[in-house]
Structure formats: structure tokens, C-alpha cells
């Protein structure tokens, strides 16, 4: 069977803590991976329960409500008894930046200090960082949330990986990456044989490594084939807070400024300076909607020398000011919470 028989009696108990607007896909992927592992083993090696702050139903980002088994108060009591979990996984999604709960932070720290593994799905690393658990630790978060997260929690070592395991801390970028993180856990517990059998049930053709990329390669994402243009764009994306001059880019690429100008006109339909500006503004937009950073700090983080210049460029590209962008996002959040929009 390829399963380590010496581990047949091993068990893990997990608590999935649901944050409002959590994403269903990574949550379901994690649960189903563990369920299939149990089925392949023939016994419940993995047991779980769902928890929320108040013990009440939690609605996902798709509007589907999920009943839970326990409240935060219950879980804090369980830490000192037989129901103490061996692993706690925070499940969140959109609007995680608005979730602030000191009691949740204290519970996560206590569970960690008592030896429980602490994990997160999708944007849950944000909650773990709020609790101070990711200081100096490697972690993963969804690529869309990475800019805001890295600015808010500079002490965390965040990567655009599928998942990260740093000691007893497990973080996952979300989406289908939750399958990969759970397969890693199953592999630790029972070996590669069980992992392969679970993959077959999942109709998954391979086990992805933790460091596989989250996003499509630039070549596929942009529809660009020219390797020089792609390498220049990668260089630009790596230098957003302190933009490089075209001369510096040319020296790195081994091309003249005129050659770079011509290549970008042909491949991207715009000048390299314009393209560089657009990806900086795209990062600024993510920071505006995913963090509470003052507009002037967003401007500095994206390489603008002044807030006025930043606002001018932002309005020209997006037809609204940075302040309007943030206000529209708050309005959308309020609508979702009141049920006007699902």
C-alpha cells in the first residue's frame, strides 16, 4: 500500500476558525483532502471541528453560510482539556484587513505556546501576523494581498509561494494551494504512498512543491514571447518602491535605450516608462483597497516623490482619485455586510 504502517494509530485534531467572508475553495479543498485521507486509511486519522468568534454561522465571500461547532470562548476552555486541538487553521478571504479581535490573537498565541500547530488558508496569514506569530517567520499569502501584507507586517518574511511551513506554522496562499499544504501534512504523517492515493482520488496529476508559483508565468499572463521584454518587466516588478531609470534598466538588460523603447512599443503597445508607471499604480491600487495606509505612504511605497504627483497619475489611469478608490471600497464593504450586495 505504500503507507507507513507504524503510523496507523496516529491522529490529529484540527480546528478550522472561520473569519467572515472566508473563501470556500481553499476551505473545502483542505477539508476534502483530509476526508479522503481518512477514507484511504480506513479510520479517522484526522478529526476536525469548525469555530467562529461567537459560535454562530459564518458567511463565506460567496454568501454561503457555514454552521460551526464551537465559539472562541469554547476553544479557549478546550486548550486546557482533552479537547485541545493539535492544529488550528484560520480561514479567511476578502476584507481580512478589517478583522481585528484581540481575543482571537490571544487564543492563537496560547494555542501555539501549548504546542499546537497554527495554520492559515488564503489571507489568514494576516490574522496570524496580527497575533505576532509571524515575526521573523516565512509565510505565504494570496498574491493579490501580498503588497498590502508586506507593508503592514514588514517583520514577516512573506513569499508568493503556494504554501510555507516554518516550524509549527503553516501558511497557504489559498485557492487550490490548500490541497498542496494538506498533502504535505499527510506526507509528514503517513508518507508518500498515502499522498499518491489521495491525489488519485482528487484527480490531481501531481503534487506541487511549496515554492511553485501562484500566478501564471509572465509569458502566459501577458502573451509576450520576447525574452528580453519579459526579463525587463520582471526587473521592473522587483523595483517598484525605488524605480530604476531607463538607463539602469538598459545596462542590466544589455540593450540600448532606443532598443528597449522599440521593443516595448512592439510588444506592449506603450513606452517602457508608461508600462513601469502602470504596474506601480496597479500596486498602489492594491494597497489602497487592502490596507489602511495613508495615501502619502502608499505613494512613497510605489515610488512617487509626492502625494500630488501620485494622485494626478492615479486619476489619469483609473478616472478617480486614490481617495475615491478607498471610499468606493468602504462603500462596497458596507453593502456586503448589510446584505445589499452578496
Alpha-carbon gap, residue 28 to 23, rounded angstroms: 9
Whole-number Å distance between alpha carbons of 156 and 276:
27
Grid cell digits, residue 328: 468606493
Q: What pLDDT digit, counting tens, does each position of 205-251 carry?
A: 777 777 776 766 667 677 788 889 989 998 998 899 899 999 999 99
CA nearest neighbour of 58 among 67, 50, 45: 67
Residues 222 and 256 sit within 8 Å (Cβ to Cβ): no
Higher pLDDT, 336 or 152: 152
Q: What percent of the chain has pLDDT over 90?
A: 73
Mean pLDDT of 316-333: 84
For cell 478607498, the residue is 326
Q: Which residues contact 269 (CB under 8 A, 6 or more apart)?
A: none
The full length of the chain comes to 342
pLDDT at 168 (0 to 100): 96
Q: 254 Cβ partners below 8 Å, 6+ apart? A: none
What's the half-sphere exposure (Cβ side, CA atoms, 13 Å) at 240? Answer: 20
Q: What is the mean pLDDT of residues 73-94?
A: 95
256: which residues sit within 8 A by CB, 6+ positions away?
A: 250
Rg of the chain (C-alpha set): 22
pLDDT value of residue 337: 52
Nearest to 275 by CA among 284, 285, 264: 264
- Is the predicted pLDDT of residue 4 greater than 60, yes or no? no
- Of 166, 176, 252, the closest CA to residue 213 belongs to 176
Q: How far apart are CA 166 and CA 6, in angstroms?
A: 26
Q: Please, are residues 139 and 157 in contact by the beta-carbon 8 Å criterion?
A: yes
**What pLDDT is attached to residue 334?**
56
Confidence grade of residue 146 (pLDDT, cut at 50, 70, 90): confident
pLDDT digits (tens, 9 = 90+) for 159-213: 888 999 999 999 999 999 999 999 999 999 999 999 999 999 988 877 777 777 6
260-288 pLDDT tens trace: 999 999 999 999 999 999 999 998 998 88
Q: Among 56, 62, 205, which Cα is nearest to 122's?
A: 62
For 308, the 3-state DSSP assignment is helix
On whether the pTM is more than 0.75, the answer is yes
- Conformational region of residue 301, where left means phi above 0, alpha means psi within -120 to 50, and beta covers everything else: alpha
Task: State the Cα–Cα distance between residues 194 and 55, nearest whole angstrom.
Answer: 34
Residue 5 confidence (pLDDT) above 50: no
Mean pLDDT score across all residues of the chain: 89
Amino acid at each position: 500500500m505504500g503507507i507507513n504502517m507504524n503510523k496507523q494509530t496516529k491522529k490529529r485534531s484540527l480546528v478550522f476558525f472561520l473569519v467572515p467572508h472566508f473563501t470556500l475553495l481553499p476551505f473545502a479543498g483542505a477539508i476534502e483532502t483530509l476526508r479522503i485521507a481518512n477514507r484511504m486509511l480506513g479510520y479517522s486519522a484526522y478529526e476536525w471541528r469548525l469555530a467562529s468568534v461567537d459560535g454562530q454561522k459564518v458567511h463565506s465571500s460567496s454568501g454561503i453560510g457555514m454552521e460551526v461547532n464551537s465559539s472562541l470562548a469554547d476553544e479557549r476552555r478546550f486548550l486546557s482539556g482533552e479537547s485541545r486541538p493539535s492544529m488550528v487553521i484560520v480561514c479567511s478571504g476578502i476584507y481580512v484587513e478589517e478583522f481585528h479581535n484581540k481575543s482571537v490573537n490571544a487564543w492563537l498565541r496560547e494555542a501555539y505556546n501549548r504546542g499546537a500547530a497554527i495554520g492559515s488558508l488564503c489571507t489568514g496569514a494576516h490574522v496570524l501576523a496580527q497575533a505576532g506569530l509571524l515575526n521573523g517567520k516565512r509565510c505565504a499569502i494570496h498574491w493579490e494581498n501580498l503588497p498590502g501584507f508586506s507593508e503592514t507586517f514588514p517583520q514577516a518574511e512573506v513569499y508568493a509561494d503556494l504554501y510555507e511551513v516554518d516550524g509549527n506554522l503553516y501558511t497557504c496562499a489559498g485557492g487550490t494551494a490548500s490541497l498542496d499544504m494538506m498533502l504535505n501534512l499527510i506526507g509528514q504523517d503517513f508518507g508518500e504512498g498515502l499522498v499518491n492515493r489521495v491525489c488519485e482520488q482528487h484527480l490531481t496529476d501531481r503534487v506541487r512543491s511549496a515554492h511553485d508559483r501562484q500566478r501564471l508565468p509572465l509569458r502566459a499572463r501577458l502573451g509576450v514571447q520576447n525574452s528580453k521584454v519579459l526579463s525587463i518587466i520582471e526587473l521592473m516588478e522587483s523595483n517598484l518602491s525605488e524605480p530604476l531609470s531607463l538607463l539602469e534598466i538598459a545596462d542590466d538588460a544589455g540593450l540600448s535605450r532606443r532598443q528597449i523603447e522599440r521593443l516595448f512599443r512592439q510588444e506592449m503597445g506603450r513606452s517602457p516608462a508608461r508600462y513601469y508607471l502602470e504596474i506601480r499604480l496597479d500596486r498602489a491600487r492594491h494597497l489602497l483597497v487592502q490596507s489602511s495606509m495613508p495615501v502619502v505612504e502608499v505613494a512613497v511605497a510605489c515610488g512617487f516623490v509626492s502625494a500630488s504627483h501620485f494622485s494626478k497619475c492615479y486619476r489619469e489611469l483609473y478616472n478617480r482619485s486614490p481617495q475615491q478608490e478607498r471610499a468606493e471600497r468602504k462603500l462596497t464593504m458596507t453593502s456586503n455586510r448589510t446584505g445589499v450586495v452578496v
